Structure 1
């Protein structure tokens, strides 16, 4: 992953009004972020938002930062009128899948492959 390219992509999407980002900080250190916006799948039901990304630095796992970011992301989508949130997670990322399951996300039948190394992904969904 190229951090400069990722940051540029987020900056472009935010400036265009396609997404919003929430950041977790500890002092002056950014320890995580969550990006949200409208569901990119045109076939998605109305009032569906998407959690595009959730990242917490591994040194800050199990501190509540992931839950706080997910709370902020879901509140943002509710405020935007969404009643459902969807996300894609790598099939092999069992830690993330457990986290999302505890949060209330359920697995759908939808599958794809990520743009990063063509790895299998699963779509998850939760009511807001």
Structure 2
């Protein structure tokens, strides 16, 4: 039995989600992004407002993993934002777990719950954009949940005014 429970996020979870997002990003990008740029990138203040709005408007749908009364991870998912994709294509917009809980099955539980939500909406495929230098995320999506790289989709994305990363779209069939 897992010590984690996955449930819909509530607006009061926005701060914890922002803090998890910042902590995970700091752990992943440490050494890949200059420290001054990393500090600006992971500042949780603006993230909290964005996640509060996402939760309020369910765009994307947000689920949290909790242990007791502590939020330890979250997933945001919905229909694909990519142009020209059919309405049966879903997307994992974000999936983050606090580094203290890495390797404990939290991401897999969040993935399973998001998959169920996407299937309930009629999605038959799902995509995720993942930074090419984020080996942890690539390993999870490719080796643990069966995504494949769509290399012709590699692109540079601006995380803010100074930080840019290379991303690739991953894709898999649901069901």
Answer yes or no: same fold by TM over 0.5.
yes
- Aligned counterparts of 2:62 and 2:149: Cα–Cα separation in 1: 24
Aligned to 1:36: 77
In the alignment, the residues of structure 2 paired with residue 75 and residue 89 of structure 1 have an alpha-carbon distance, to the nearest angstrom, of: 21
Q: Between Structure 1 and Structure 2, how many residues are aligned?
A: 128
Matched, 1:84 2:125: yes
Which sections of structure 2, spanning at least 5 residues, go unmatched?
Answer: 1-41
Could you give the per-residue CA deviations for residues 43-95 of structure 1, whole angstroms, max 9, x where no partner exists?
Answer: 11330011000001111111000100011111111111111111110100112
Secondary structure of the structure 2 residue equivalent to 1:87: strand
Match of 1:118 in 2: 164
Runs of 4+ residues deviating >3 angstroms: none
8 Å Cα contact 1:18/1:38 also seen in 2: no
- Structure with higher Rg: it is 2
2:54 and 2:62 in contact (8 A); partners too: no
- Aligned residue for 1:45? 86
Q: Quote how far apart the aligned CAs of 1:32 are.
A: 0.4
More helix by share: 2
* Structure 1 segments unaligned to the other structure (5+ residues): none
Say if 2:105 is the partner of 1:105.
Answer: no
By how many angstroms is 1:112 displaced? 1.8
* CA RMSD, 1 decimal: 1.3
- Give the whole-Å Cα distance in 2 for the aligned partners of 1:122 and 1:69: 21
Moved more, 14-23 or 56-65: 14-23
Distance 2:90 2:115 in 1: 9
Rounded Cα–Cα distance in structure 1 between residues aligned with 2:171 and 2:58? 23
Give the strand-richer structure, 1 or 2. Answer: 1
